[in-house]
Amino acid sequence: MRTRLALLVAIVLAPVGAGSPAAATPHRPPQVVAVHGAADGTVTIDRHAVRAGRIVFRLDSSMPPGLSSGIALVRLTRRATVDDLFTDVRRMMSEDPATRARGTRDARRDARFYGLADLLASTPVTVTQTLTAGTYHLLDLGGVRDGTPPVTTLHVRGTATGDDRPPRGPTVVMTAADRFETPTSLPADGTITIANASTSLHFMNIWPVQPGTTEAGVQAWLDGATDQGPLIDGPAIGFNVISPGLHARLTYRLPPGTYLLFCELPDERTGIAHVFTDMFRIVTLR
């Protein structure tokens, strides 16, 4: 997809906010925010203010075939501006490894990333996230390379309430060793939890590969031992950048088959994309 391939080629749960114990707090159903990524890089939402707690983001895109909307949800730190974030992301897309590493370090300093998705027009997804009070921004990260994309603001108010029990179902953990811990089989049509238990920013593509692809074969391709890459055309999605210590729920529908999970974010020390240092896994969607 547009946003991620540019980088490839070149369970700690989030706090639910202060307040009385969950047992004494009336639970409210999660709020729903419809999010749309347009062909011009604009991200629109159907409501700009919500109460703190669980938020369900229903994302779709009207990108032309072959292009994706890389919709991210971020909260800037006190001293950072949107322009600072744009600078960080452009550095992460540099051809120079040292510049990419600086971009990742600065992005982690300047913002908290809450995921959302890199999606095609044919692959709408839903992301459920728990947010505390504050000002958040949504933008298409793919537009940062070519200019200054529009930014949409979401205001979150009040104290988080809702079900704070650990989520059930399959979980993909981004570990402190910059690896994916995941079941070998995930639902083709369902919901998974994605948790960043590392100290780094991470991203997760879910991309179809040739049947019979092995992790050894993927490693040989990444090492340059073969020119025949395993990735194939077809519906694919990406779970967008998420900061350390956060988690979210991703609901999606993809054709059953063999897929590659991989992270393309540059390492903040070396600038090398994490996929080249073993942050990939083969899974079967059933």
Residue 168 has a pLDDT of 75
Q: What value, to the nearest 5°, has the Cα angle with vertex 252 and ends 247 and 257?
A: 115
Q: Above 60 in pLDDT, residue 120?
A: yes
| Residues 6+ positions from 217 with CB-CB distance below 8 Å | 226, 230
Q: Is the pTM for the entire model greater than 0.85?
A: yes
Pair 250, 125: CB distance under 8 Å: yes
Q: Which residue has the tokens 């908290």?
A: 112
**What six digits make up the tokens of 39?**
């062909």
Q: Which residue has the tokens 């075939």?
A: 65
Give CA–CA dist 45/76, Å, rounded: 19
Residue 226 has a pLDDT of 84
Residue 148 has a pLDDT of 82
Ramachandran quadrant class, 247 (left: phi over 0; alpha: psi -120 to 50; beta: rest):
beta
| Residues 6+ positions from 274 with CB-CB distance below 8 Å | 178, 200, 202, 262, 263, 264, 265, 266, 267
Residue 85 has a pLDDT of 96
Continuous H helices in 42-185: 82-92, 97-110
The whole-number average pLDDT for the span 261-265 is 97
SS3 91: helix
What are the structural domains of the chain? 2-10+30-285 (2.60.40.420)
What is the average pLDDT value for the chain, to the nearest integer? 89
Q: Give 190's DSSP letter.
A: E
Q: Kindly indicate the confidence band of residue 143, based on its pLDDT and cuts at 50, 70 and 90.
A: confident
Question: How does strand 257-262 pair with strand 280-285?
Answer: antiparallel
Q: Above 70 in pLDDT, residue 25?
A: no
pLDDT tens by residue, 166-213:
567 899 999 999 999 999 999 999 999 999 999 999 999 999 999 999
